[in-house]
Amino acid sequence: MKLPSIHRARPGLHALSFKLAVAVTLAAAVPAFAAWSWYAVPAAAAAAGVAGLGLVTYAVAYGLLARRLELAYSILKQIRRHQFDNLNLARLPHGDELNALIWQVYRTGQALEKEIREMKKMENYRREFIGNVSHELKTPIFAIQGFAETLLDGALEDERVNRAFLQKILHNTGRLANLVRDLSEISKIETGELEMVRKPFDLRRVVREVVESMEHMAAAKDVALRASLPETLPRVMGDRERIQQVLINLVDNAIKYNNAGGHVEVTARVRPDGEVEIAVVDDGIGIAPQHIPRLTERFYRVDKSRSRRQGGTGLGLAIVKHIIGAHDRRLLIESRPGRGSTFAFTLEAAPPASDGERG
- pLDDT attached to residue 6: 38
Q: At what angle do helices 11-38 and 67-80 cross, to 10 degrees?
A: 160
Task: State in Å, rounded, how far the first CA of the chain is from the last one.
Answer: 69
How far lies 286's CA from each of 210, 256, 290, 296, 336, in Å? Answer: 22, 12, 12, 15, 5
- The continuous run of DSSP H or E covering 267 comes out as strand 263-270
Q: Which fold has domain 116-191?
A: Helix Hairpins (1.10.287)
Return d(Cα 93, Cα 100) in angstroms, integer: 8
Q: Phi/psi of residue 329, each to 5°?
A: -130, 170
Mean pLDDT by 10 residues, the chain (359 residues): 43 64 63 52 59 68 68 73 58 59 73 79 71 74 88 84 87 82 77 81 95 93 94 93 93 93 95 94 92 85 58 78 91 92 95 55
- pLDDT attached to residue 246: 94
- pLDDT attached to residue 355: 45
CB 356 within 8 A of CB 199: yes
Return d(Cα 118, Cα 3) in angstroms, integer: 29
Q: At what angle do helices 240-256 and 203-220 cross, to 10 degrees?
A: 30
Residues of the chain with CATH 3.30.565.10: 199-347
CB 183 within 8 A of CB 133: yes
Return d(Cα 91, Cα 112) in angstroms, integer: 17
- pLDDT attached to residue 11: 60
Reported pTM: 0.59
CATH code 3.40.50.1860 for 199-347 = no
Residues of the chain with CATH 1.10.287.130: 116-191
| E runs forming strands in 19-166 | none
- pLDDT attached to residue 201: 95
Return d(Cα 227, Cα 182) in angstroms, integer: 26
